[in-house]
């Protein structure tokens, strides 16, 4: 008798354990897959967020230094010749590529129009590199809550099936399954919220930097 009571108490304690590890282990294969996908998406999103944060911090500083040196130089040609071969700053690369094309051009007719086209192409190329993986952040931000919701719906459906089979509607039976299901939604929100915030922040930074490159291009054309 005492053994039966002890066994029931252990079982109830086990079903009442709502730790993250227990919720994951108790979930079925579908909900586990949803959780793993959301965790992986969240980890990769944070890697992108850290990378883009460091990138914008780096290029804002390097671009400011480049512009200061460029506008203090005697001429575009002399400044071009003083540039190192391994450039990382997007504006410096933009200038170098444009100067290389300009110096190879023999005819000076319509030089401003051709230079404008060259600069436009190079600006687009640099911005594509800067905005790499932005789409992933946007995708995680828009789809992660729905993926989590799918896991929740599936988990709750399984919980109701368990209730129907056991014919027991006590909270001890219902709560664990619902907790597992809601955990999937929580993971979806945890993945989506930082991704959306980061995407909006980096998109704004990208637009500002793109405008900075375009302004430099216009000023550069005016002195050629």
pLDDT of residue 45: 97
Whether residue 219 has pLDDT greater than 90: no
* Residue whose tokens read 């932005």: 134
pLDDT tens-digit readout, 155-212: 888 777 777 777 766 666 667 677 777 888 999 999 999 999 999 999 999 999 999 9
Q: Which residue is listed with tokens 């993971």?
A: 187
Q: What is the pLDDT of residue 112?
A: 76
Residue 200 near residue 138 (C-beta atoms within 8 A): no
Most confident range, picked from 5-19, 169-183, 207-221: 207-221
Cβ within 8 Å of residue 9, ≥6 positions away = none
Residue 206 to residues 99, 121, 134, 144, Cα–Cα distance (Å):
24, 17, 10, 24
Residue 80, classified by CB atoms within 10 Å of its CB into exposed (0-12), middle (13-18) or buried (19+), is middle
Query: Radius of gyration (Cα) for the chain, nearest Å?
Result: 29
Q: Is 33 exposed, middle or buried (0-12, 13-18, 19+ CB in 10 A)?
A: middle
Alpha carbon distance, N-terminus to C-terminus of the chain = 97
For 45-80, the pLDDT digits (tens) are 999 999 999 999 999 999 999 999 988 888 888 888
105 φ/ψ angles, rounded to the nearest 5 degrees: -80, 120
The whole model's pTM is what? 0.80
């Amino acid at each position: 008798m005492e053994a039966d009571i002890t066994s029931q108490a252990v079982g109830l304690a086990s079903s009442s354990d709502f730790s993250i590890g227990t919720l994951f282990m108790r979930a079925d294969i579908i909900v586990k897959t949803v959780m793993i996908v959301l965790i992986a998406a969240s980890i990769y999103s944070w890697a992108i967020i850290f990378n883009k944060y460091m990138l914008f911090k780096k290029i804002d500083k390097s671009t400011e230094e480049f512009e200061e040196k460029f506008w203090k130089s005697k001429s575009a040609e002399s400044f071009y010749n003083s540039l190192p071969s391994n450039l990382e700053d997007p504006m410096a690369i933009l200038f170098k590529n444009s100067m290389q094309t300009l110096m190879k051009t023999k005819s000076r007719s319509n030089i401003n129009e051709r230079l404008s086209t060259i600069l436009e192409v190079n600006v687009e190329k640099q911005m594509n590199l800067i905005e790499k993986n932005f789409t992933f952040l946007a995708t995680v931000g828009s789809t992660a809550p729905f993926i989590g919701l799918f896991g929740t719906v599936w988990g709750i459906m399984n919980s109701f099936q368990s209730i129907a089979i056991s014919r027991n509607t006590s909270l001890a039976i219902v709560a664990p399954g619902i907790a597992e299901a809601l955990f999937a939604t929580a993971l979806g929100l945890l993945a989506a919220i930082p991704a959306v915030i980061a995407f909006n922040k980096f998109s704004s930074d990208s637009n500002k930097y793109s405008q900075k490159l375009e302004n430099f291009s216009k000023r550069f054309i005016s002195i050629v």
